[in-house]
Amino acid sequence: MGNYVERMFLAGFVAPVFVLISCSSISESECMAGNWADIGYRDGLNGKQRTKITDYVKECAEYGASVDRQTYIESYEVGLSYYCTYEQGFERGKKGYGYNAVCTGPLAADFRAGYDEGYIEYELRRTYSKYQADIEQTEAELQDVKDRIADPEVDEDEKKRLQKKRKRLSRKLKNLIWEFRDFRQKHDLFY
């Protein structure tokens, strides 16, 4: 029993500490090393918000370290110039991620154009997959209805209802197949 209580106490103590550690955006060693050029560059390159430095200032102050804001911002802008490209925007859009509004000025135009193109591709793939899933689901429902109609245990009233449902599902399936065909032709998609 005591062992159980000890484990529960430790779990209650360790779990919150782990959560606090995992929420930290910068380690004590990073604060103390003060390599703000690398941290700024990395944050810019990864498209993090400019306001990230505010978190660093607060966290590093707890460790007794200061942040070289000027060096961080200068390096951040260099890293951001590599992030704010058409290609990066396209990749973000293609994955269906939300638009990341860290790019400003002339950099924003290329990033936005890439994002918009990528997001169009994402939407096309998503719609394509939805058509496929809807067709498969309707085919499965139709097969289930056919199997139930063929079941000798099903009474005549139920069979009449199922036959109407079969006709409805057959029309739905035919329409989905035509819509899917039109969609693929319109967008020249034949995955």
**pLDDT tens by residue, 64-78:** 999 999 999 999 999
Whether pLDDT at 187 is above 70: yes
The H or E element that residue 22 is part of is helix 2-23
Note whether residue 5 is domain-resident: no
Torsion from C-alpha of 43, 79, 121, 132, nearest 10 degrees: -30
* Count of structural domains within the chain: 2
Note whether residue 163 is domain-resident: yes
Residue range of the domain that includes 145 = 120-187
Instruction: Let me know whether 44 and 102 are in one domain.
Output: yes
pLDDT digits (tens, 9 = 90+) for 33-65: 989 999 999 999 999 999 999 999 999 999 999
Angle made by CA atoms 14, 20, 24, in degrees to the nearest 5: 145
Instruction: Let me know whether 110 and 33 are in one domain.
Output: yes
Q: Which residue has the higher pLDDT, 7 or 188?
A: 188
Angle made by CA atoms 126, 117, 183, in degrees to the nearest 5: 40
Instruction: Let me know whether 107 and 146 are in one domain.
Output: no
Last residue of a domain, one of 114, 133, 163: 114
Whether pLDDT at 22 is above 70: no
**Cα–Cα dist 163/141, whole Å:** 13
